[in-house]
């Protein structure tokens, strides 16, 4: 059974936590409009999101390894209906960032999945572009996030891919709320003042800004994904580009 994990942030405002990221305040995505999206599944059940960055590699969150073995599902819109567009590929290597467990589960929360066979690229399955090293996304930039995670108060993953538009926040916005748990060098956030963002079930999915993946869904306030007091946090992909390139070239 695949669980929707809760990563608790100890001693943060006494009650707050972080969740494996569903989409709140969103809408159903147009079918196959995000051909880079990945559903990571354990024994046929959706656990996490991810993004296809090379025919044989998926980028996702490190804590998604809590369920394994994982199967990568590409070209999906509905997870319950048979779709000829889908490709299901086994994972042969789990390359979690070496510092992820050395510090804590909210830092260096990045993982690459090496696929057993290469994905067949077509109009339903495509790669997503990655940013350059040390690139920055300023505050108040419109971005989007998508996934099959929990929607509103539901207790299970969404059947269809959901999406929503969000705005990036400043490092000071994030740091003020998340305090020592927010690391500006490796993390970025989006504001929740419009009640939009992710929830449980979407960890590892991309934050897309100007057609490139800038962030990896990481954590938020688990008791209420729509709580406007808590920015939603992502791993900052530009920070991890040297490591990603090194792993791809092994």
- Catalytic residue status for 63: yes
Annotate 167-196 with b (16+ C-beta within 10 A) or e (fewer): ebbbbebbbebbeebbbeebbbbbbbeeeb
- Catalytic residue status for 159: no
- Which of 32, 42, 46, 63 is catalytic? The answer is 63
- Which of 32, 46, 67, 109 is catalytic? The answer is 109
Annotate 23-54 with b (16+ C-beta within 10 A) or e (fewer): bbbbeebeebebbbbbbbbbeeebbbbbbbbb
- Which of 100, 202, 203, 232 is catalytic? The answer is 203
With contact defined as beta carbons under 8 Å apart, do 13 and 54 qualify? no
H or E, element range at 54: strand 45-54
Three-class DSSP category at 137 = coil
Cα–Cα dist 122/201, whole Å: 26
Catalytic residues, which ones?
Answer: 63, 109, 203
């Amino acid at each position: 059974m695949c669980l929707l994990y809760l990563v608790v942030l100890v001693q943060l405002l006494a009650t707050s936590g972080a969740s494996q990221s569903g989409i709140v305040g969103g809408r159903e995505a147009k079918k196959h409009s995000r051909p880079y999206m990945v559903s990571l599944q354990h024994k046929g059940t959706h656990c996490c999101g991810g993004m296809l960055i090379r025919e044989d590699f998926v980028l996702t969150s490190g804590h998604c390894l809590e369920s394994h073995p994982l199967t990568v599902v590409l070209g999906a819109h509905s997870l319950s209906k048979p779709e000829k567009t889908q490709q299901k590929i086994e994972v042969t290597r789990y390359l979690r960032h070496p510092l992820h467990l050395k510090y804590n589960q909210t830092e260096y929360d990045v993982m690459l999945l090496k696929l057993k066979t290469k994905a067949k690229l077509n109009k339903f399955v495509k790669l997503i572009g990655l940013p350059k090293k040390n690139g920055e996304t300023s505050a108040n930039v419109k971005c989007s996030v998508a996934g099959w995670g929990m929607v509103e108060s539901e207790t299970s993953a969404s059947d269809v891919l959901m999406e929503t538009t969000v705005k990036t926040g400043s490092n000071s916005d994030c740091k003020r709320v998340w305090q020592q748990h927010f690391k500006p060098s490796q993390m970025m956030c989006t504001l929740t003042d419009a009640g939009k963002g992710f929830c449980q079930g979407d960890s590892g999915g991309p934050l897309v800004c100007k057609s490139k993946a800038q962030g990896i869904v990481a954590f938020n306030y688990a008791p209420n994904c729509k709580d406007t007091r808590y920015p939603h946090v992502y791993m900052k992909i530009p920070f991890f580009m040297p490591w990603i390139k090194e792993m791809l070239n092994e």
